[in-house]
Structure 1
């Protein structure tokens, strides 16, 4: 199993941090056919061959994604997309 683990600090208030996380989830959903669900401030996502979560605190966004064997070759692309989207949505 291959793991993507991204931490990003932010200075957003809670509502804007949740909006940023939702934007990231929508992007991942459309690009990689990922299903996601909110449980409070905790977002879980899953698709065949991948599962993970996104946690939000007052100053941190943490994305943890586990990729199965079939998606392992795409790890770099997926990680790059997560970082790119976070750069856009957390830009001050």
Structure 2
């Protein structure tokens, strides 16, 4: 099992941070076939072999992804794509 943890600082309002999180979620949901849902300030997502959460804080967004054995082979690629997207949507403020 591979774990990916990414923390991205931001200076967004809570509403803008949620919009940014939704952008990240929609992108990874399309690419990896994930089901996403909000639980307060935590966006949870899953599919067979993948579970994770994007937690919004006042000044940071933290992504935690757990990959099953088969998806673990793609961990470096997934990490790079998710990190790039988070930097783009949260770091542009």
Q: TM-score range by the shorter chain?
A: over 0.9
- After TM superposition, the score normalised by the length of structure 2 is 0.95
In the alignment, which residue of structure 2 is the partner of 1:42? 42
Unaligned stretches of 5+ residues in structure 2: none
RMSD: 0.7
Does the Cα contact within 8 Å between 2:8 and 2:87 map onto a contact in 1?
no
Distance 2:72 2:35 in 1: 18
Does the Cα contact within 8 Å between 2:11 and 2:59 map onto a contact in 1?
yes
- After TM superposition, the score normalised by the length of structure 1 is 0.96
Unaligned stretches of 5+ residues in structure 1: none
What is the number of equivalent residue pairs in this alignment? 92
In the alignment, which residue of structure 1 is the partner of 2:22? 22
1:37 partner SS: strand
How far does residue 88 in structure 1 lie from its aligned partner after superposition?
1.4
Q: Stretches of 4+ moved more than 6 A in 1?
A: none
